[in-house]
Amino acid sequence: MSTNSKIEWTQTTWNPVTGCTKVSSGCKNCYAERLAKRLKAMGQPNYRNGFTVTTHEHMLNIPYKWKKPRLVFVNSMSDLFHEDVPFEFIQKVFGVMSHADHHIFQVLTKRSERLLETYSELPWPNNIWMGVTVEDESNVHRITHLKDTPAKIKFLSFEPLLEQIQSLDLYGIDWVIVGGESGPQSRTMLEEWVEGIHRNCIAKDIPFFFKQWGGVNKKKNGRLFDGRTWDEMPTINKEV
């Protein structure tokens, strides 16, 4: 299943892997888990296993069918570097991304340890953007792991942002996304937490994307920060 995405910082999602397991505090109220259960109940074949990690060979050729270049968020319903995804399948996904180089692929993981262990065996053309999620201070180490990769564009997703991030070094980072948690039982994000990250981005001239305040009614809470929307993106370079 592929779709035009409602996620503000991308255009399309592509899910050659579905399902995941909770690895850190940001996973507590996982939107993908809730959605996977609904899709299974609806009879969607890719979610026959619910939220159990499942690879989908038949999804690998989807990006070749998209003729118009687009931003593609890879595995919005999983984590490509999950320990239950065979490394051979990760290599296949990277192979597709490398060959379908008219698209920009945005890969986001919380499993930065596995990324660190495997990046040297993967291709890194300019159209593959690599990011890690950092929801709290205890997961800042993921940034260090990301910096060790040869990805042309390295980005951070502070979503859901759960506390003030004190020890933040953005040197070598190309893009920052910040967002609050949404949905049932969502945890509150404070403005001063966002302000700290934003100041750091300004100081280092890093594009800043504010996704949402979140909450139970995320539409009502909106996307305004400091009186405006922030939709900054890295400069897209398609040379590979």
Residue 24 has pLDDT above 80, yes or no: yes
Residue 65 counted as domain residue:
yes
Residue 102 counted as domain residue:
yes
Residue 203 is part of a domain; what is its CATH number? 3.20.20
pLDDT at position 167 = 85
The CA angle 40-43-44, to the nearest 5 degrees, is 75
What integer is the mean pLDDT of 179-202?
A: 97
What integer is the mean pLDDT of 70-99?
A: 98
Residue 138 counted as domain residue:
yes
Which pLDDT tens digit goes with each residue over 47-72? 999 999 999 999 999 999 999 999 99
Residue 71 counted as domain residue:
yes
Total domain count, the chain: 1
- Residue 138's nearest CA partner among 110, 115, 176 is 110
Give exposure, 189-228, as e/b (b: 16+ Cβ within 10 Å).
beeebbeebbebbeeeebbbbbbbbbbeebeebebebeee
How far apart are the C-alpha atoms of 166 and 150, rounded to whole Å? 26
Q: Which domain holds residue 170?
A: 2-221
Model confidence at 4, in pLDDT bands (50, 70, 90)?
A: confident
**Total-model pTM:** 0.96
- Residue 26's nearest CA partner among 189, 174, 233 is 189
Model confidence at 3, in pLDDT bands (50, 70, 90)?
A: low
pLDDT at position 11 = 97
Residue 235 counted as domain residue:
no
| Percent of the chain residues past pLDDT 70, beyond the cut | 97
Residue 84 has pLDDT above 60, yes or no: yes
What integer is the mean pLDDT of 97-113?
A: 98
Residue 19 has pLDDT above 50, yes or no: yes
CB 14 within 8 A of CB 63: yes
DSSP-based three-state secondary structure for 219: helix
Residue 231 counted as domain residue:
no
Residue 239 counted as domain residue:
no
Cis before 150 (ω within 30): no
Model confidence at 161, in pLDDT bands (50, 70, 90)?
A: very high
| Percent of the chain residues past pLDDT 90, beyond the cut | 94
What integer is the mean pLDDT of 21-43?
A: 97
pLDDT at position 198 = 98
What integer is the mean pLDDT of 110-116?
A: 98
Model confidence at 140, in pLDDT bands (50, 70, 90)?
A: very high
Phi-psi region for residue 99, left (φ > 0), alpha (ψ -120 to 50) or beta?
Answer: alpha
CB 91 within 8 A of CB 122: yes
Model confidence at 235, in pLDDT bands (50, 70, 90)?
A: confident
Residue 238 counted as domain residue:
no
Report the half-sphere exposure of 187 (CA within 13 A, side-chain side): 13
